[in-house]
Chain A
């Protein structure tokens, strides 16, 4: 394989068809969603699994084609770029009347002006049409080269550069990208893997439409470093939280019976007006906003019952007779403990219940919610956006910024100045011809 083949369009066509076919194949065969989730052990062996790997888009086949594709783009761009850049930066300023007149938009006319003045005038008319004009002089002979939108000839190179950025981004993403899903309970804190901080879900909300379908769900997140909150945001679908290279996306939620949330009220018989309402989870102490006072749901049973030995057990997993053993602590000392019942709020006389100043009410019971937050660190994203920007800019240049060139040769010819000119460009012949006609008209008017 020599260099010329590597950069050839034939090779590019072959690679594009190959990549397209692999892509198509991948959509019709069951795919592992990502490289990480592809089970390594249970891969069938044999020719088929070699030809059609389980995870096509991360398979060696695909990656080899993609690398060859990149190589093809690089070689092609480099070999074409140098002559192109030379033409753009140092264009030839030669002109031959015969060759100019062979161009379809061309003209020849005589001017009464002396050659220098004619060049001045022609240069002005070209500049007014936004041409950049270069000039080369020889005795009795003068060439003006007007060019505009020269950048347009680099459109395809800009697109190709953009594609290289995108492919490089994909590579970086595959090598250095990291993503995981955190399951957060309200109030719970979770360390973010491979990051020096934790995430706490402060509040979870579900909004519904009048017909009951889910409109939106939101998680109020706090970022904690060494236990101190340093940042926070309410995230929802389409609105992630960004912190130290990580992005946190709201992906979904689940309601779980095993992690109920109890709405409890605490009142104090010896203090009028003392009433606190809390949302408590079994096992997690909650401060009662009064110094040293906290509440703990020690035990929760969904379907309360007592066996012959007097021990509490749950008849089922259903919320048939939910009950909770609640303790209230003041400076670490238990000042109250007792069972409360969701369905029997007034019942407080269960045996073993000590008299205390506090009374607890069981107001409500909900399933606990787990908010699934996707954490992603992908250092490739800037490369991707730069690549996308370049591709779009390049497409614009290639399709809608066509370079145009008008070459004018002025010669002293039997005492007069003879002008020979031609206009050329890659696209839109009619517009080029029309602009050239108007230029020639102007030049003629000075004859």
Chain B
């Protein structure tokens, strides 16, 4: 059983999980959200197998090109969701999150992304590759959860303009709260992995902890957006729609940091 086998089986299970969650979305039968969760967990285990196989075969951390890092990001997003779901019970976010996971997986699987193992360039041969990338992507995975719950909040709050029932309001409030909790996990992780460890590594590899490289700048912009989210929320008491909009913008900035910078801007982080 090789990496491809693990990867493809994980992909199938994620699709099954998404389908289960979709049925749950339509009929609200608890059985299907449970099935979706289980399929997701099994898929995650198989996906872990693929990542481990990749690491063993290549001898380096499994996020050195776009295929590897997309695969790891999908893995992280699902992990973040499964954890948040256990803590806060979010079956309604399952389908949408799995759409994101599937999108990353299919993109990773597409012929656009070369999958062959290439020897590692000297700058990447470092333990900091493990720490910097994995912690950053895990942080971004929690941002993805906050993105989904914020979008769901925005839909929920716009679809009922008339007096909402108490139940609907409670469920929307919960989405708002969960977005915050996800960002409360993602923000420290992103700060540590993306900015602090990135600076430590840059200092070791390039001799300058900060070079205003586009990837660095966009990480900082992402950080600013989430800092704005936290300040307006914790100090100014913003809740609901306005907070949700900032959380959505934050994730878009994170996505641009991840994709846009590699394909649209050039700089030191050109590892595609």
Q: Say yes or no: A249 contacts B231, CB within 8 Å.
A: no
B239 CB to closest chain A CB, in angstroms?
15
**When the two chains form the complex, which single residue of B191, B212, B218 contacts A392, counting CB atoms closer than 8 Å?**
B191
Q: Which residues of A contact B211 (CB under 8 A)?
A: 33
Contacts of A254 in B (CB 8 A): none
B123 interface hit (Cβ, 8 Å):
yes
Provided the pairs A20-B224, A384-B199 are in contact, do residues A9 and B122 lie with their beta carbons within 8 angstroms?
A: no
Contact: B225 with A20, CB < 8 Å?
yes
User: Looking at B128, B205, B208, which has the most chain A CB atoms within 10 Å of its CB?
Assistant: B208
The minimal Cβ–Cβ distance linking B12 to chain A, given in whole angstroms, is 34
**Cα–Cα, bound, A24→B204 (Å):** 26
B131 within 8 A of partner (CB):
no
- Is A13 a contact of B232 with CB atoms below 8 Å? yes
Question: How many pairs of residues, A versus B, come closer than 8 Å at their CB atoms?
Answer: 103
Q: CB within 8 Å of B: which of A351-407?
A: 374, 376, 378, 381, 384-385, 388, 391-392, 395-396, 399
With beta carbons under 8 angstroms apart, the residue of B121, B126, B221 that contacts A23 is B221
Is A192 part of the binding interface, using a Cβ–Cβ cutoff of 8 Å?
A: no
Total interface residues on B, using CB and 8 Å?
Answer: 43
A27 close to chain B: CB less than 8 A? yes
- Is B207 an interface residue, CB under 8 A from the partner? yes
Whether B184 lies near A399 (C-beta < 8 A) is yes
CB-contacts of A206-242 with B (<8 A)? 209, 211, 213-217, 236-240
Report B-chain residues with C-beta under 8 Å of the C-beta of A179: 207-208
Contact of B214 among A16, A17, A27 (CB under 8 A): A27
Q: Name B218's closest neighbour in chain A (CB-CB).
A: A27
Residue in A12, A33, A238 whose beta carbon sits within 8 Å of that of B122 in the complex: A238
A79 on the B face (CB < 8 A): no
| Contacts known (A384-B199, A399-B184); A391 close to B210, Cβ less than 8 A | no
Instruction: Tell me if B204 and A238 are in contact (CB < 8 A).
Output: yes
Residue B107 interfacial (CB < 8 Å) = no
Whether A213 lies near B208 (C-beta < 8 A) is: no
CA distance A249 to B210 in the complex (A): 15
Q: How far is the CB of A123 from chain B (nearest CB, A)?
A: 33
Please tell me if A26 contacts chain B, counting CB pairs below 8 Å: yes
| Per-residue contact bits, chain B 77-121, to A (CB 8 Å; 1 contact, 0 not) | 000000000000000000000000000000000000000001111
Closest residue on chain B to residue A395 by CB atoms:
B188
Query: What are 5 A-B pairs with beta-carbon distances under 8 A?
Result: A24-B221, A237-B205, A249-B205, A249-B207, A381-B209
4 closest A-B pairs by CB: A237-B122, A249-B207, A209-B119, A20-B224
